[in-house]
Structure 1
Amino acid sequence: MSGFDPQRTDIATHVSAELDPAERGRAFGRANRTELHAAFARYTTLFEALGGKTGLIAEWGERALAETAAWAPALAEEIAGMADGAGLDRWRLGALNGRTEVLAALAVTGEGECSTAVVLPRTGAPRTVQTWDWHDTFRDGMLLWSLEQGSGRRVHTFTEFGVVGKIGVTSTGLGVHFNVLRHASDHTGIGVPVHVVARRILDEADTVRDAVDLARSARLSASSVITVITFDGERAEAAGLELSPAGVAELPLDEDRVLVHTNHFLDPKLAEGEGTTAAVSSTYDRLPGLRDRIGAVDTADRTARARALHSHRDGGVPICAHADHALPAHLRWESLATISLDLGAGRLYAHEGGPCRVEQDGWQAAPPEPQGEIA
């Protein structure tokens, strides 16, 4: 069932009860046919603006799906099912899931996306928050998706229509945040999509070590950082996994039990191949800005945690981004959503817009909660 309405300002929702991946995908595709066609149309416009021709995008989409089939067969079945249910060529869903790989193959540079902060208090559940920054023309593509696994595990993800996963949390107490990176080793030989890696971690990993092992088993052609957090009700762990074709680095918590990340590599070895510069990205300003706000992020109140990231370019640290409409659409960036994970309850909370728009009653939960229950 889909809660999408293009006139609404909140985030669309979908709940999948199907246990078979192919049937889950087909049911999703049938329920969200219009949204999936619109999602591919938006990405077609973006790819074309960045120099991607239809034939080349089709080839890369097919490769992304083939790489997924070899590394995560169940997710390839789910993606193919989405395409079939929506009446789309399967390569188009391959390109949606491989959108980071396509953009890396097109050698895209630019502002980048997302700022993540995680604090593990000495007692109690982890405290997490991130912005999801993307082109403002993609606002209608956001989705909160909850699904059941045959094992009884439930996965909840903030993602985009047609993309199997991004930021998420499981009923077993594992969560992931997600930021894009760019590396000199990124290449055109399309590998396993990083969004597929994030989803498989949500589907299968129980520990940070499980997530590291899964990430290192994938042949990658593009870069991202997946921040993995676990909580068993008493003990919490976290690590930042910097993914690149040159390797996967594991970033530990600092001495204050904090992890922050923006859009450049922090591992010293991988940083030698950094593909982002201060000339095109605010990432180098945003990272110390996040660190400066950790005291305010370290609170059980998710609204206060999100508001701690309320900082604009005119204040020197553009953590909360707003589109410059003097620029063409493919060069505009905006904080389209703010997300926080509740690992103790196995819930994901998302708020439409950046930190400056966050209000106590504006959060949406995955899985959905009855109106009035979000605190």
Structure 2
Amino acid sequence: MWPNPTIPLRIKLSGTPREIGLEHGRQLACQIRKQIEIYNTMFKETSKLDWPTVRDIANEYRVTIERLTPDIYAEIAGIANGAELDILDIVALNCRSEIALGLFSDGCSSLGWKFKDRTLLAQNWDWTASIKDNLVIMSISQQDKPAIHMVTEAGIIGKIGFNSSSVGTCLNAIRARPTDPKKLPVHVALRVCLNSTSAALAIAQLEALGSLASAQHILIADSEGPVGLELSPMGDVYLKPNDHGMICHTNHFIQNRFVDEPPWLSGSPIRLDRMRRLASALVADGETVTREALRKKIFSDTFNAPQSICCQEDPLRPLPTRSSTLFCIVMRFAPSTRPTAQIVWGKPGSGEGDVIIMP
């Protein structure tokens, strides 16, 4: 019986935003409650905030989400009803990055790569191991919007994945100030992207909505290639692929200088340089760049562990915030071809789990 560390839970949702939310809440009520327990402990550890205070802060974001993205707000309200929780509990999960003022230490390394006939979009997602039992591969059939296939945390409406229009998203957390509760939380912004029919339209929608409440990097791609979105409440910078069609990113801004970003993860610049070197070596060797090659040659790399591309737990960190790679996803987009992803549910190259196909 689930949970199984090597076999993720899969659920399918469909209908109106409220119907999608209700079923999400009903099917994942247990996991959502566990998420609240985990983040309650993390907020106390990182920000000295108890859950009632977190909910008070979340109310500011609740107003913003309802004003700017009413369909997404209806889905969040449905999750709360389905799980028999207060809506502020679900809003708090969806703006946990903003409430903590960037004090969570989730790492993550992402890469987008455009070739003549395809685009690959990939990421190692690093976070505390206690979250893994509450991750889910979620498929959503929506009215008048693309179908979505993503890996997300129970209760969170936008994360890492792609849609039926071949628009995909990856996320790198950034620790920087300020935050602005009158703007969109990053997980809501990810859902805006996944609701879009092209990367260009997703970017235009984020611009129209006023960008993000916190500093974050969203690596977005479609069959035309990747774009790095270094987003913040103070201003945005878009990164273009290099001469090889590639964008690599870790957990610091490369070009965005609009925010106050003190150094926090010392391994982030090292990981970025390492990713670029390993990817360039693939090009120099003339090796065909496949999803398997990315996992084997880049995303399984443990150079500079524990803060490596394939992240290892750091025993020197407090237990609630120790990160390690929980899954590796590689998406593939090509014109006139159905988008797909391969997922390793665990550390790539470690033998932790078989390759899972999404959808």
Asked whether the two chains share a fold, i.e. TM above 0.5, the reply is yes
| Per-residue deviation, 1:320 | 0.8
Name the amino acid aligned to 2:356.
Q
- 1:119 and 2:108 equivalent? no
Aligned to 2:291: 302
| Per-residue deviation, 1:246 | 0.8
TM-score w.r.t. the length of structure 2 is 0.90
Identity %: 25
| Per-residue deviation, 1:148 | 0.8
- Give the Cα separation in 2 of the matches to 1:285 and 1:338: 19
Distance 1:173 1:314, change over 3 A: closer
Distance 1:255 1:196, change over 3 A: same
From 231, 237, 253, give the equivalent of 2:225.
Answer: 237
Q: What value does the CA root-mean-square deviation take over the aligned residues?
A: 2.2
Please tell me whether the aligned partners of residues 175 and 229 of structure 1 are also in contact (alpha carbons under 8 angstroms).
yes
TM-score w.r.t. the length of structure 1 is 0.86
Distance 1:163 1:317, change over 3 A: closer
Distance 1:316 1:138, change over 3 A: closer
- 1:271 and 2:251 equivalent? no
Q: How does 1:290-329 map onto structure 2 within 5 Å?
A: 290-294=275-279, 295-296=281-282, 299-308=288-297, 309-314=299-304, 318-329=308-319
SS of 1:342 mapped into structure 2: strand
| Per-residue deviation, 1:276 | 4.2
- Give the Cα separation in 1 of the matches to 2:69 and 2:221: 22
- Give the Cα separation in 1 of the matches to 2:161 and 2:310: 21
- 1:354 and 2:350 equivalent? no
Aligned to 1:68: 65
| Per-residue deviation, 1:357 | 2.5
- Give the Cα separation in 1 of the matches to 2:305 and 2:314: 16
- Give the Cα separation in 2 of the matches to 1:358 and 1:69: 44
- 1:28 and 2:24 equivalent? yes
SS of 2:269 mapped into structure 1: helix
Q: How does 1:354-373 map onto structure 2 within 5 Å?
A: 354-357=347-350, 362-367=354-359
Distance 1:146 1:316, change over 3 A: closer
Q: How does 1:202-217 map onto structure 2 within 5 Å?
A: 202-203=194-195, 205-216=196-207, 217=209
Name the amino acid aligned to 1:210.
L
| Per-residue deviation, 1:9 | 2.7
Instruction: Could you tell me which runs of 5 or more consecutive residues in structure 1 were left unpaired when the two chains were aligned.
Output: 368-375
| Per-residue deviation, 1:214 | 1.9
- 1:59 and 2:49 equivalent? no
- 1:339 and 2:329 equivalent? yes
- Give the Cα separation in 2 of the matches to 1:289 and 1:92: 39
Distance 1:341 1:276, change over 3 A: farther
Name the amino acid aligned to 1:208.
A
Distance 1:366 1:289, change over 3 A: same
SS of 1:271 mapped into structure 2: coil
| Per-residue deviation, 1:128 | 2.3
For these two proteins, the number of residue pairs brought into alignment is 349
Aligned to 2:78: 81
Aligned to 1:371: none
Please tell me whether the aligned partners of residues 170 and 347 of structure 1 are also in contact (alpha carbons under 8 angstroms).
no
| Per-residue deviation, 1:191 | 3.5
- 1:285 and 2:270 equivalent? yes
Name the amino acid aligned to 2:155.
G
- Give the Cα separation in 1 of the matches to 2:210 and 2:177: 18
Please tell me whether the aligned partners of residues 329 and 341 of structure 2 are also in contact (alpha carbons under 8 angstroms).
yes
| Per-residue deviation, 1:280 | 3.7
Worse-matched range after superposition: 21-30 or 174-183: 174-183
Please tell me whether the aligned partners of residues 118 and 259 of structure 1 are also in contact (alpha carbons under 8 angstroms).
yes
- Give the Cα separation in 1 of the matches to 2:228 and 2:42: 29
Distance 1:276 1:351, change over 3 A: farther
Worse-matched range after superposition: 283-292 or 28-37: 28-37
Q: How does 1:102-181 map onto structure 2 within 5 Å?
A: 102-104=99-101, 108=103, 110=105, 112-121=106-115, 123-151=116-144, 153-181=146-174
Q: List per-residue Cα deviations over 1:154-207 (Å, max 9, x = no partner).
A: 1111111111011121111211111111223335x463211110111111x233
SS of 1:357 mapped into structure 2: coil
Distance 1:254 1:219, change over 3 A: closer
- Give the Cα separation in 2 of the matches to 1:29 and 1:317: 35
Worse-matched range after superposition: 5-14 or 191-200: 5-14
Please tell me whether the aligned partners of residues 340 and 350 of structure 1 are also in contact (alpha carbons under 8 angstroms).
yes
